[in-house]
Amino acid sequence: MLLGWYWPSGWTAAYSALTGGMIATLANAWFAFKVLGPRQSDEPAAALRGFYWGELNKILFTCAMFVAAFVLIRPVNAAALLAVYFFVHMTPAAVNVLSRRK
């Protein structure tokens, strides 16, 4: 949907917006896989350790994808990329706030 929003601004903004959304989505999917993956433990300390390692992996994965995006994609619209990245991250919080008002 955001790709269509940025499309009138040109191809650079459109594929930069798509890249920002994919970075956020892939990083969160990686975190979910690491935390909720096949090896779940009943021990609280192991579960907490899994969350910490999952978050660390997510941060490193996100940094690597941002570096790759800014190095490999030429030209890149940084404003569109970052705006969609933050929009994807803020959507669950906005949905949570709006669903409590009912």
Q: CA-CA distance, 7 to 66, in Å (whole number)?
A: 21
Total domain count, the chain: 1
The whole-number pLDDT of residue 5 equals 64
**Does 15 map to a domain?**
yes
**Does 101 map to a domain?**
no
Token pair of 9 as six digits: 């601004």
**Does 62 map to a domain?**
yes
Model confidence, pTM = 0.81
**Does 70 map to a domain?**
yes
**Does 50 map to a domain?**
yes
Are 14 and 21 a contacting pair, CB within 8 Å?
no
Q: Which domain holds residue 69?
A: 11-94
**Does 99 map to a domain?**
no
Token pair of 69 as six digits: 């995006």
The whole-number pLDDT of residue 13 equals 84
Residues in the chain where the model's pLDDT stays below 50: none
**Does 100 map to a domain?**
no
